[in-house]
A and B are shown apart, each in its own frame.
Chain A
Amino acid sequence: QVQLVQSGPEAKKPGASVNISCKASEYTFTEYAIHWLRQAPGQRLEWMGWVNPGSGNARYSQTLEGRITITRDTSATTSYMQLTSLKPEDTAVYYCARLDWFGDLYPTFDSWGQGTLVTVAS
């Protein structure tokens, strides 16, 4: 069974950076993109970016470009998301998710990590 296991909760001060890991297992890591999303309290899910584990290429949301970096370590089957210059409004639960192509056509987040709460407060 596909599993994505994320690192634990983080408490940060404004201006700091956070790094979250997402370890994948029970599938071929390089064959599926890993996306990162977040959900602030009472808000809708927001897509942040993704990495191609095979190539290492990443793309980011325009609203976060410049502050976010998504990487992967194929030997560890793990993706990492770093967010810098944290603000209180970055307080959210952060998720990694695997993107599958349902019917070879339809992008679907078919497996998710358990979520990592990041709290940004002074």
Chain B
Amino acid sequence: DIQMTQSPFSLSASVGDRVTITCRASRSISNYLNWYQQKPGKAPEVLISAASSLQSGVPSRFSGSGSGTLFTLSISSLQPEDFATYFCQQSFSNPYTFGQGTKLQIK
């Protein structure tokens, strides 16, 4: 199985800050990488597919990049509604596997 490792585990930031989350795959997954946002008690929502393609309706302050084994999710100017947990997921091969999540908290 492909192992997905995110960093950091948690992150404190302020409204208006720019933040970056990293996701590393244990072997190359090309650009078969999705990013999800999850708020407490809610189901995950997909933000980005194919490493860098924003899903419809997702604000442009979110961006993704990377290929192979190293990927990043950036949020350019944090808004109050962005404080949540983010995790990556590889869809290169089954079983699809997830990162452990990065909890983004208000500083």
Interface residues on B, range: 20 to 34
Question: Which residue in B31, B45, B91, B100 is a CB contact (below 8 Å) of A44?
Answer: B100
Contact with B along A87-122 (1 / 0, CB 8 A): 000000001010000110111111011110000000
B62 at the interface (CB under 8 A from A): no
CB proximity to A under 8 Å, residues B44-63: 44-46, 49-50, 53, 55
A45 contacts partner chain B, Cβ-Cβ < 8 Å: yes
Contact A45 B44 (CB under 8 A): yes
Known: A45-B89, A102-B53, A103-B53. A108 touches B46 (CB 8 A): yes
From the candidates A47, A59, A97, A112, name the one contacting B97 in the complex (CB within 8 A). A47
Q: How far is the CB of B46 from chain A (nearest CB, A)?
A: 6
Chain B contact surface mostly: loop
Interface contact B87-A44, CB-CB below 8 Å? yes
CA distance A112 to B49 in the complex (A): 16
A47 to B97, CA, bound (A): 7
Instruction: Check B87 against A112 for contact (C-beta < 8 Å).
Output: no
For residues 51 through 101 of chain A, which have their beta carbon under 8 Å from a beta carbon of chain B? 59, 61-62, 95, 97
Task: Find chain B residues with CB under 8 A from A95 CB.
Answer: 43-44
Q: Please state if A109 and B87 are interface contacts (CB–CB under 8 Å).
A: no
B87: chain A residues within 8 A (beta carbon): 44-45
Check B64 for interface membership: any CB of A closer than 8 A: no
B 63-86 binary contact with A (CB < 8 Å = 1; else 0): 000000000000000000000000
- A47/B99 in contact, CB under 8 A: no
Q: List, in ascending order, chain A residues with CB within 8 A of B31's CB.
A: 106
What chain B residues lie within 8 Å of A45 (beta carbons)? 44, 87, 89, 98
Q: Are A47 and B95 within 8 A (Cβ)?
A: yes
Which A residues touch B100, using CB under 8 A? 43-44
A113 vs B45: C-alpha distance in the bound complex, in angstroms? 11
Set of chain A residues within 8 Å of B95, measured between Cβ atoms: 47, 61-62
The residues of B with any CB-CB pair to A shorter than 8 Å are 31-32, 34, 36, 42-46, 49-50, 53, 55, 87, 89, 91, 94-101
Residues of A within 8 A of B (CB): 35, 43-47, 59, 61-62, 95, 97, 102-103, 105-110, 112-115
